Amino acid sequence: MWKRLILISVLVTSLVSAATIYTLTATITTQVTVPNIIFASGSDTSAISGTIGTNGTTFTATAVPLAVGSNVTIQEAVRLNNTDTGNPHDITGAEVLSEDFGAELTALSIYVYNGTRYRLLSIDGTGTTTYEFSGTLSMPASASWTVIIEGAYDDGTTSGSNTLSFYIKQ
């Protein structure tokens, strides 16, 4: 009888052990980084139908007016602001998201201006992006810089404005 009781006891213990379910719980933590350097409206933003993306790092202009055969300079297409009042932050790059100039251009360039012009982007006469800034451009705390668009249409171009969209990396 004791043998049966021990055998039943071992059998019940084995079944209970086999029925134990082990679980593994993982917690994933994500962190959203709010950009410190963002676009803000400039004096020419509405004239070129400019819009700023929701996170402040993209800019689209849907009516970029250029002249045929001679450069047009849009002095304040948009502004770049460092929203951090206590620390400088770096612009580490710029990239064209889209443009519809195609082969209508002689050339188009985008600059940031803080007393000195720094080229961010260039598009050539075939519509190819030939330069995208990559490096480090340190923007002081609370600084506000102008973004300039400069370019011209090829001789014989008949359209009056085009769309350009780009963003900055930080």
Which stretches of the chain are assigned E, i.e. beta strand? 37-41, 50-52, 58-65, 72-82, 89-99, 105-113, 117-124, 129-132, 134-139, 144-153, 161-169
Query: Please, which residues have CB within 8 angstroms of residue 109's CB and are 6 or more apart in sequence?
Result: 119, 121, 122, 123, 131, 149, 150, 151
pLDDT per residue as tens digits for the range 102-152 = 888 899 999 999 999 999 999 998 889 999 999 999 999 999 999 999 999
Asked whether the beta carbons of 76 and 144 are under 8 A apart, the reply is no
Res. 24: pLDDT tops 90: no
* Residue 39 confidence (pLDDT): 98
**Domains of the chain, first to last:** 37-169 (2.60.120)
pLDDT per residue as tens digits for the range 71-96 = 999 999 999 999 999 999 999 999 99
